[in-house]
Amino acid sequence: MNYVPGCVKMVQVSIVLLLSAGVLKLFWKIDNELQQYSFNKLIKYCLFWGSILSLGIFLAPHQKAIEEQVCGILLAVYLTVCTVTDTLIYQVYDIMQYPGVLGGLIWVLLKEPQAGLGVSVILFAGMQYFILMKKYGKGDGMGYCICSLYLAGAGMDIEGYLYHMVIGFGLLAAVQGIRGNITGKGNLKKAVALYPYISAGFLIMWIFLY
């Protein structure tokens, strides 16, 4: 029996958790709003989301070369940190977009997708920037754009990026409907964090629809 692949995945997950915890520690030290929560609570959220996201991302055998594995780690850390801060204080730090975009761009270049997919990513980014970000915020829109880079590297076009959104909002509607947080007109009674649903929707695309 070969234990090497399992050991590699455990190392990848450990790296994601350590990096995510380190970044959250830095944000916690400099942001008074985040300090309303104990760091232990941040760690609990980090362990929960970091484990789910990193296991999901590395469960699918898409990262073979070391460069691809690094991109997977950047994606997992990005989604983990953004999901935790969005859940707790409804905020995503702008600086987190840089590792997210960097990992996505490197991933696309490594995978060498068809030329037409670049147009799909640009069209989707334009849709986010000019229309959708006005409805749910810049940070959420950037999350969808960064995920679209990884999906583009998987060979998906704009339909795939839109499916990601449909799945995410479908999960949101289901969860908030169960919680009684949706009005008769279909609006949320109380605002909720969107990144948990962006992350969960991405994992579904990544594992089952890649």
Angle (CA) 55 61 64, round 5°:
110
Residues of the chain below pLDDT 70? 1-6, 210
Give Dmax over CA atoms of the chain in angstroms: 56
Given this model, what pLDDT does residue 6 score? 65
Residue 158 belongs to what H/E stretch? helix 158-178
Given this model, what pLDDT does residue 5 score? 59
Distance, in Å, from the CA atom of 134 to the CA atom of 137, rounded to the nearest integer, reads 6
Given this model, what pLDDT does residue 20 score? 98
Given this model, what pLDDT does residue 113 score? 73
Cβ within 8 Å of residue 147, ≥6 positions away = 104, 161, 164, 198, 202, 205
Whose CA is closest to 125, among 161, 76, 77? 161
Q: Per-residue pLDDT tens for 151-171?
A: 999 889 999 999 999 999 999
Query: What mean pLDDT value characterizes the chain?
Result: 92
Given this model, what pLDDT does residue 186 score? 83
Given this model, what pLDDT does residue 107 score? 94
Distance, in Å, from the CA atom of 12 to the CA atom of 207, rounded to the nearest integer, reads 17
Cβ within 8 Å of residue 198, ≥6 positions away = 79, 83, 140, 143, 144, 147, 168
Prediction pTM value:
0.94
